[in-house]
Each structure stands twice: as C-alpha cells, then as structure tokens.
Amino acid sequence: MSVEIRSAAASDLPAMMVLVRELAEYERLSHIVIATEASFEAALFGERPTAEALVAIADGEMVGYAIYFQNFSTFVGRAGIYLEDLYVRPKRRGAGIGKNLLSRVAQITVERQCQRLEWVVLDWNEPSIQFYKSLGAEPLDEWTIYRMAPEAIAKLAGA
C-alpha cells in the first residue's frame, strides 16, 4: 500500500469532516463537535488562516489527517508547532501512516526553525501514549491544561 502525505486542499474538507467525527467518537467527545466544513474552510484556507492540515491518502481514500498551528514560547523566544489532531482510521493503524503524518509535521517544525512540537493526549488513550513515547515524546506531567468556554470568555471580556 502506498500512502501519500500532502497538504490539505479545500476539496478535502468533506472527507476530513468525516474523519473529525470519527476521532470525536473515538475520544467520546462527539457531543461537543460544532465544527463545519465552512468553519474548517475559514480556518485552513480563509483570508487569515489559523491552522494548517496534512492528509494521508491510501488507495484513493483519505485515511488520516494532522492539523497543526504555530505557537510561541516566551522562555525559548521562538515559535513552536502545536499538533491539534493526529488521526488515522482504525483499520489503517499499524501501517506507519500516523508516524508518516507526524514525521511530516516534524519536518515542517525543523524547516521553520521552531523549537518545540507539542500536543496533548487523553490520559486513558494508552495506545496513543505508547505510540508517542516510542517516537521519543515525553509527557509533561507537571503542567495542567486550563480551558475557557465561550461563556466564560465573554464574561471575562466584559460582554
């Protein structure tokens, strides 16, 4: 099986949304998905893109994707890459597709002279944790992620 890893195109969005929903189901988070093809198009291909995406194509079918964006470390004084999603369809796992997607993101990180490549993983997702560790990734157990929902953001903003 040959797999093509390439930058996503707007024409990929319908298939990407199917995979996004599969990922949400796997992560038991389907109930919070509000993303649409239109919101992805604006984020990835709009006037001011906020993220980038790679897709994995095997036998004419999209079988995986990676979505990432640039962040910044004040301690390092340099940009980094944050991997928002890395997903490969279950029936295609174990064939190196996830590693190839992540390897391409790492290449982009190097090309842009970024100093970090970071992401989060659910604490119960042992297969992914082991996969990431096998590639040399290390957990940052001393950090806790905080998130504000739109209502809390609006309240803090004084709206």
Catalytic positions are 132
* DSSP 8-class letter at 114: -
Q: Which long-range contacts (CB under 8 A, 24 or more apart) does 10-18 make?
A: 10/41, 10/44, 10/45, 12/53, 12/55, 12/62, 13/37, 13/40, 13/41, 13/44, 15/55, 15/61, 15/62, 16/40, 16/53, 16/55, 16/62, 16/65
On whether the CB atoms of residues 129 and 138 are closer than 8 A, the answer is no
Query: Whose structure tokens read 């709206």?
Result: 159
Query: Rounded to whole angstroms, how far apart are CA atoms 104 and 135?
Result: 13
Between the alpha carbon of residue 64 and those of residues 102, 147, 159, the distances in Å are 11, 27, 39
